[in-house]
Amino acid sequence: MKVRDYEVDSEGIVNNAVYLHYLEHTRHEFCEQAGLSFRAMHEQGIDPVLAKATIVYRRPLGLGERFVSKLGLRRRGPLFVFDQDIYGEDGTTEIVRATIEVACIENGRLTRGLPLVEAFGKYLTEE
């Protein structure tokens, strides 16, 4: 991805809240790759919701910089835990390290997200 002009503050660096968008976009792309778009999930009554986000900022990104966003997925009880990293364009310079916990709501009720376990099975590790 590339930092766009409206994502930077007056200092010319990416605003801290924008990183949440980058991380969310990466999760959405992952879900689509796994065969589940957020629209399709919602239409089936499945809504993954953010339960907790922990972000460590290592180095700021600036206007026009390119970066790579990666994720790993594990399970902790009923939660889906995404270990996400954003790296500089070189793929080695650490920009952000994040742990994102997601709960699954099905038809208005908190569940263990079994349809997601099935869809993400080949990517998922258990704690």
The structure tokens listed for 67 are: 């970066």
> Can 85 be counted among the known catalytic residues?
no
Tell me what the mean pLDDT of segment 52-75 comes to: 97
List the catalytic residue out of 5, 9, 83, 85.
Answer: 9
pLDDT band at 10 (very low <50, low <70, confident <90, very high): very high
pLDDT band at 125 (very low <50, low <70, confident <90, very high): confident
Tell me what the mean pLDDT of segment 41-57 comes to: 96
Write down the pTM of the prediction: 0.91
Q: Tell me the pLDDT of the chain averaged across its residues.
A: 94
Query: Hey, is 115 helix, strand or coil?
Result: helix
Q: Is the pLDDT of residue 46 over 70?
A: yes
Phi/psi at 117 (5° precision): -60, -45
CA 82 to each of CA 8, 12, 108: distance values in angstroms, whole numbers, following the listed order: 25, 29, 23
Q: Is 26 exposed, middle or buried (0-12, 13-18, 19+ CB in 10 A)?
A: buried
Q: Is the pLDDT of residue 77 over 80?
A: yes
Tell me what the mean pLDDT of segment 97-108 comes to: 96
* CATH 3.40.50.2000 describes domain 5-126: no
* Bridge partners of residue 110, in order along the sequence: 105
Tell me what the mean pLDDT of segment 71-77 comes to: 94
The structure tokens listed for 121 are: 């099975």
Tell me what the mean pLDDT of segment 6-14 comes to: 94
Q: Which residue in 66, 60, 65 sits closest to 15, CA to CA?
A: 60
Q: Is the pLDDT of residue 127 over 80?
A: no
Contact 38, 31 (CB under 8 A): yes
Q: Is 1 exposed, middle or buried (0-12, 13-18, 19+ CB in 10 A)?
A: middle
